[in-house]
Each structure stands twice: as C-alpha cells, then as structure tokens.
C-alpha cells in the first residue's frame, strides 16, 4: 500500500543481519489531529543507528527502519497543528512523542518524560501497538511538538545531523552554563563532538577539544576549538587541573579511559556530562575520586523543543555548518556507511541523500 | 615539655595497634601571627577518626593523635588575629589551614584548595615538617580562619560533632539548593546523616530519611524527617520516582547498594551527593544509568568558613541539638568507643569529655 497508509523504507530484520537492508513497505500510525507528515529528503546516520542494529538490538521490535536526523517537507498537517504549515522544510530528531502533560513535559524536560517516550524508531505507539519507524524511508509521521521548521540559511544536508547529534551536544552546554568566561571541554571528536566544539565556541566559551591523538587537531581548530588536548601525551591533564567548568564527554567508548585524570581537570563543582553511550561496562566511581574538587558527573538525553529551536537559530545566525559526507540512500551504500561508522571512518557525519531515486513513487 | 611548646594527647602508633591509645607529649607547630591556641574541652569522635587509625592509615604520619570535632577555649591568639578573642569558646573542625590565596580559597572553596590542605591531624606543616595533631589532646593550634566562635545557646558537648559531621552534611545541602519546595533525601542515619535530616528540615525542605530498616524511623522523625524510606522493603523506590531534588548520601558503606534504584528517585537533573567515604571499591556507573533523568552525581568535602558560621547560627536560632553520648577521654574509653564506632553502635555521635581529668596540668 502506498502513502498515506504506509511508508517505504530500508529495514533491518535482526542484529545478525545488520548490514542487510531490505526495502519494504510498512504501516504508519493512524494520522491524528496534531500529526505532521514529512516527506523525507535527507537523513543523518547516527552512532545510535549503528548501535541499535548491531549492538543494543536484542530488545528491539524487529524489523526496523532506523534513522532519526531527518529533514524533509511537511506534506500534511493535522487540523490542530499550529507549529508547521504544509510545504515548509522541517526536521525531525530522535523522539516523536511524549505525554505532554507531566511535570517534566511542562518544564522543558520532555526528553525525560517518565510516562511515555516515543523514539523516532523502535517504540510502540500505545493505542495501536504500531512500531515507530525512522528516516531511512520515504515518510515519517510525528507529533508537531517534535517537528521543527528549518531556518532558510541552513542547508538540508548539513542541518540533518543537528537534529540528533547537534541537539545532544547543545542541550548539556546550555543547561550547564557554557558561555563567556567559562572553560569548556569536548571529549571525542566525532559526530556529536564536532557539534560540541562548534556550539561551545558559538556560545562564547573558551573551547577545548580533547582527543586521543592530534590527528584531528587541525579540524578541531577550524571548527572553533581554542585549544586541543591529546590524551596520548604524558601529563596531558596537569596544566588544566582545577580549570574546566564543564566537560561534555561525547566519546563512544570508555576503553582505557582513565576517568580520574579527566576529573582532575575540573574546577570545584565543575560538571562532567556524558552524552555518548558506550557499549562497554561502565566506570567504577568512588566518592574519593570526586571529593578533591566536588565535581558532578551526569548524563544528558537529547534536548527540549525550545533548545532545538535555539540551536537552529544559533547555527543560522552564526553560519555554522556541519561537516558531512553525503551518500545516496540504497542497500549497498547503507551497508558501506554502517561499516565505516563502526570504524569511526567518517569526518564527521554521513547524510543520506538521493531520496527521489530510492523512493520514486513517494 | 609542657604547653605552649608541646601538647599532650592520646596517640596511636600504627593501624596494627589502633585500639592502643598512648598518652604522650608532642611538639606543636611554631606559633605564628594568625594562630589561635585552643585548650580542648570536648571532641566528637568522627567516623574518619576510626577509618584513619584502622583502615585508611597506611600512608599516615605515625604516631597520630586523632580528633577533629573540637570545642574549647581560645587561650592565646596571634597579633594579627581578628576573628577570635582570648577567653572565647571556639570550635575547630577537620581542617586547620589552606593557602588562602588561590581562586578556590578566595571563592569560599577553601576545603578544595589545590595548593595546600592541612587536615587537623596527620598533615605535615610545609615549613617545619611538624605533623598536625588532633583533639584527643590538651591543646590544638590552628589558623584563625579555621577557628569558629560558638553561639552562646549551643552546648559544648552537642556542638562538637557539628564541626565535622554537621558541616559535612550542611554544605552540600546549601550548595545544592535544599530549602522550601525542595524534596531532599538523606541516606544513612548515622553521625552525619542525623545532621543531614536536622539541617534539611531546618532549611525548609521536605525531608526524607532513607535507611535500610525502620529501626531508626522514630528517631528520624523526632529529628525532623517528614518521611522515611526503608530500603529492605520491596519496591521502596517506586512511589518516589522522578521526585527528589537532592539526596545526600551519608552512608559509610556501599555494600549491597543498588545505586540505580536510588537514582531512579531523582527528579530530572536532581543531584546525588556523597559525603561518606566507604572503604569498599566504588560503584560501577554507566552513562545509561544516568540518562533517564539526567541526574548528577557528586561528592562534597567539609564546608567553607561562611557555611560553618551559617550552620552554627542556624542551629542556635532553631534550637537544634545533636544526639550525643558523652564519654570521658581515657585509654579504656577510647578503645571501647572505637570498637562501638566500628559496629555503628552509637546514636548518633560520641563526644569525648572530662578533659580536665585526662590533662590535669593543661
């Protein structure tokens, strides 16, 4: 069946066949008063896309069409929608619904809603049991709260990854005071980290990139880093002791990670906020490791609608541009892209394009 | 030699003989312009006293006279001292010096000074190499910044434990916003925890005591707890999900401690601050455990001079009274008290008294 009952997308059947994308039709949730239908034109490839189909996938609802850094055109809006008009260029990130009524939702913490979090893909819509499906597809349907008009100045292909990677970096920066007179570090110069550097600098903070080697130093400085720390160098942490107000940890691995050295760089009551979700076991933390500077350790999950709008406007105002490699969406390219993502062989994000060729009937 | 060159105190020679207190004379640091000499009249027994002589002691400077919840009379003040007058009743807590000049010291974070932290006992004075000694003794000598006049309304024996246990609980409460309309939990109803409950309530927070069993519920409610959670009861965390703004963890053991259940009770970006220093290995923390509510995990170390004064005034204004058991200072009683501390057989703090009998020549 064609749209509007169904969408067509590239699906994975199980973690065992995580490189085997199958183009299929699947059912969309019933269209409701606050829904917006987006005809997809581009979609970033997120690290969690790869984790979901290859690593975290055991409890997923298979088969699954991943993708949650979506840009396209609003082609249909429900009668109660006020945020979006038909024909507008819009983005959809990693979440498409929350209860909207609880304390968290009313307090701009809708990505922490304890009642219901509908991820863009892989979640079960409560009333129908239909599984949400992502943006490696012809269409997505989302509640208007989770659909964002894109400022004219931003390019479709480079704004796509901001919808998840970008907001993931941006929210902890603004929630933890990144700005003038603050010293901010970004650990891990990958998809999320490169946004972290860009946004920390754009917000006015003294911005340090923290990476294992100096291989990405030139890139980091181009993006806006004021300084660069290579953790392969002996004594790297020494000159920064008690100095960082905030470090956003965007690393996607905690292997060989000596957390205590990183924490020793924090100012008193500085904050270490992780946004990566490594597949490895966690870190052993003793109160003793935290007590010399009273550092706070936390994690952050996406960002609110308000933050998303603020981020997009900041990017437009400052002319910020993601570093993306575009690749047309099809079975072979998806396989290759997933393999390169696994090896972190990308500077710094893939954006899937060529949707008109993949879905000519959409 | 007698005072003022020396003090007399009960010393421990090594962790192997941690119950064998020896009354001896030892050298005091040279008296300087900002110093205050305190003739000791009472001293609380802190959990870290016991840890130091029995557990943490490997790197200590032996022999050692412990004790850092000291109340006594100022009997001599240096020519530059302005905070204290001879004859005043004063307290000394767990620290007696910091550099006083760095960013942290100037910013009311002197207990996090990265240059020098002189603990009340066991630290080496930089210029002379003399080891600082605590309050199980006739006299202590401290920089005036670390000497606090005691409000008249407070009783010597019950104010003593506030100087370490009290401020340890008080500082994270005020630094993390405990007050009206906040829900605050205190884990561990021991020496520090009983102050946590008392102060959280006095600051105006909705205050919950969190303990393994209900054995101490009646005490907790007398001290000011509005509610009580017993973690031996199935599903104890369920009704509190996403609700605590702050939990101060005063537990001195992390055995069988399911941190994720505690963290599930935190509101979005709520804070879990540990002040106990368990001897066991730490907790394994994965970003995944923190992400559902963006909780922040931290630790806290004592409190600033300003906070100490605020705490003492609050206690005087509200008529707060520690729960102490007094015991005269001598070899046998110290041995017994240490053994009971190890078993947590005390509600909720010992205060050593009878100094005139132990040190008749002082």
3-state secondary structure chain A: CCCCCEEEEEEECCHHHCCCCEEEEEECCCCCCCEEEEEEEEEECCHHHHHHHHCCHHHCCCCECCCCCEEEEEEEECCCCCCCCCCCEEEECCEEEECCCCHHHHCCCHHHCCCCEEECCCCECCCCCCECCCCCECEEEEEHHHEEECCCCCCHHHHHHHHCHHHHHHHHHHHCCCCCCCEEEEECCCHHHHHHHHHHHHCCCEEEEEECCCCCHHHHHHHCCCEEEECCCCCCCHHHCCCEEEEEECCCCCCCCCHHHHHCCEEEEEEEEECCCCCCCCEEECHHHHHCCCCEEEECCCCCHHHHHHHHHHHHHHCCCCCEEEEECCHHHHHHHHHHHHCCCCCCEEEEECHHHHCCCC
- The tens digit of pLDDT for each residue in B207-246 reads 999 999 999 999 999 999 999 999 999 999 999 999 999 9
Q: Is the pLDDT of residue B63 over 70?
A: yes
Measured in whole angstroms, how far is the alpha carbon of residue A15 from the centre of its chain? 21
Q: Is the pLDDT of residue A281 over 90?
A: no
- The tens digit of pLDDT for each residue in B129-146 reads 999 999 999 999 999 999
Please give the residue that has the higher pLDDT: either A253 or B184: B184
For chain B, what is the mean pLDDT? 94
3 state SS of B58: helix
Q: In this predicted structure, what is the pLDDT of residue B278?
A: 66
3 state SS of B333: helix
Identify the CA nearest to A310 among candidates A175, A113, A133: A175
Q: In this predicted structure, what is the pLDDT of residue A238?
A: 96
- Dihedral, B254, B258, B261, B262 alpha carbons, nearest 10: 0
- CATH class of the B6-164+322-358 domain in this structure: alpha beta
User: ipTM of this model?
Assistant: 0.91
The CATH number fitting domain B165-299, selected from 3.30.420.40, 3.40.50.300, 3.40.50.720, 3.30.70.2740: 3.40.50.720
**A interface mutation test: which of B263, B268, B292 has the most A CBs within 10 A?**
B268
Burial of A258: CB neighbours in 10 Å, binned 0-12, 13-18, 19+: exposed
B20 touches chain A (CB under 8 A): no
Q: In this predicted structure, what is the pLDDT of residue B289?
A: 77
For residue A103, the chain B residues in CB contact (below 8 A) are: 242
Q: Is the pLDDT of residue B283 over 90?
A: no
Q: In this predicted structure, what is the pLDDT of residue A291?
A: 87
Angle between helices A165-175 and A305-318 (to 10 degrees): 100
Please give the residue that has the higher pLDDT: either A272 or A286: A272
Q: In this predicted structure, what is the pLDDT of residue B142?
A: 98
- Are residues B281 and A286, on separate chains, in Cβ contact within 8 Å? yes
For residue A108, the chain B residues in CB contact (below 8 A) are: none
3 state SS of B208: strand
Q: In this predicted structure, what is the pLDDT of residue B280?
A: 62
**If you average pLDDT over residues A206-229, what whole number do you get?**
97
B291 touches chain A (CB under 8 A): yes
Residues 84-123 of A with CB under 8 A from B: 103-104, 107, 109, 112, 114
Could you identify the residue written with the tokens 């597949």? A279
**A interface mutation test: which of B176, B279, B287 has the most A CBs within 10 A?**
B287
Local confidence band at A323 (pLDDT 50, 70, 90 cut-offs): very high
Distance from CA of A138 to the nearest CA of B (A): 31
CA distance linking residue B170 with residue A77, whole number of Å: 54
Domain spans of chain B, in order of start: 6-164+322-358, 165-299
Q: In this predicted structure, what is the pLDDT of residue B58?
A: 63
Half-sphere exposure of B100 (CA within 13 A, CB side): 9
Local confidence band at A243 (pLDDT 50, 70, 90 cut-offs): very high
Q: In this predicted structure, what is the pLDDT of residue B286?
A: 74
- Are residues A298 and B299, on separate chains, in Cβ contact within 8 Å? no
Which contiguous run of DSSP H or E holds residue B330? none
Burial of A267: CB neighbours in 10 Å, binned 0-12, 13-18, 19+: buried
Same CATH topology for A6-164+303-358 and A166-299: the answer is no
Q: In this predicted structure, what is the pLDDT of residue A280?
A: 63
- The tens digit of pLDDT for each residue in A51-104 reads 999 976 567 889 999 999 999 999 999 999 999 999 999 999 999 999 999 999
- Are residues A290 and B274, on separate chains, in Cβ contact within 8 Å? yes
- The tens digit of pLDDT for each residue in A19-57 reads 999 999 999 999 999 999 999 999 999 999 999 999 765
Q: In this predicted structure, what is the pLDDT of residue A284?
A: 72
Q: In this predicted structure, what is the pLDDT of residue B217?
A: 98
Please give the residue that has the higher pLDDT: either B86 or A281: B86
- CATH class of the A6-164+303-358 domain in this structure: alpha beta
Local confidence band at B290 (pLDDT 50, 70, 90 cut-offs): confident
Q: Is residue A141 within 8 Å of A37, Cβ to Cβ? A: yes
- CATH class of the A166-299 domain in this structure: alpha beta
When mean pLDDT is compared across A222-226, A286-290, B71-75, the lowest value belongs to: A286-290
- The tens digit of pLDDT for each residue in A124-154 reads 999 999 999 999 999 999 999 999 999 999 9
CA distance linking residue B23 with residue B11, whole number of Å: 6
Q: Is residue B214 within 8 Å of B193, Cβ to Cβ? A: no
């Amino acid at each position: 069946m064609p749209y509007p009952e169904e969408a067509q997308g590239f699906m994975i059947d199980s973690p065992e066949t995580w490189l085997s994308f199958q183009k299929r039709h699947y059912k969309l949730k019933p269209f409701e008063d606050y829904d917006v239908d987006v005809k997809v034109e581009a979609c970033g490839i997120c690290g969690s896309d790869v984790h979901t189909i290859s690593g975290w996938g055991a409890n997923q609802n298979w088969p699954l069409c991943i993708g949650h850094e979506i840009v396209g055109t609003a082609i249909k809006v429900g009668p109660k929608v006020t945020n979006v008009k038909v024909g507008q260029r819009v983005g959809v990130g990693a979440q498409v619904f929350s209860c909207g009524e609880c304390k968290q939702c009313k307090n701009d913490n809708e990505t922490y809603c304890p009642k219901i979090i509908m991820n863009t893909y892989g979640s079960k819509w409560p009333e129908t049991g239909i599984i949400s499906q992502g943006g490696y597809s012809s269409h997505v349907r989302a509640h208007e709260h989770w659909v964002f008009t894109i400022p004219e100045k931003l390019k479709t292909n480079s704004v796509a990854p901001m919808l998840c990677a970008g907001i993931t970096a941006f929210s902890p920066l603004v929630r933890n005071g990144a700005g003038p007179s603050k010293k901010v570090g970004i650990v891990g110069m990958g998809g999320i980290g490169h946004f972290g550097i860009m946004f920390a600098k754009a917000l006015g903070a003294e911005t340090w990139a923290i990476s294992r080697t100096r291989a990405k130093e030139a890139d980091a400085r181009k993006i806006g880093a004021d300084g660069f720390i290579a953790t392969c160098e002996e004594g790297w942490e020494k000159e920064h002791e008690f100095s960082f107000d905030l470090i956003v940890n965007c690393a996607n691995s905690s292997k060989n990670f000596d957390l205590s050295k990183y924490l020793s760089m924090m100012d008193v009551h500085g904050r270490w906020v992780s946004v990566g979700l490594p597949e490895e076991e966690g870190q052993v933390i003793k109160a003793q490791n935290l007590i010399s500077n009273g550092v706070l350790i936390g994690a952050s999950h996406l960002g609110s609608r308000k933050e998303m709008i603020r981020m997009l406007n900041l990017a437009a105002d400052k002319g910020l541009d993601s570093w993306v490699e575009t690749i047309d969406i099809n079975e072979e390219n998806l396989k290759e892209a997933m393999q390169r993502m696994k090896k972190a062989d990308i500077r710094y994000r893939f954006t899937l394009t060529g949707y008109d060729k993949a879905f000519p009937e959409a």
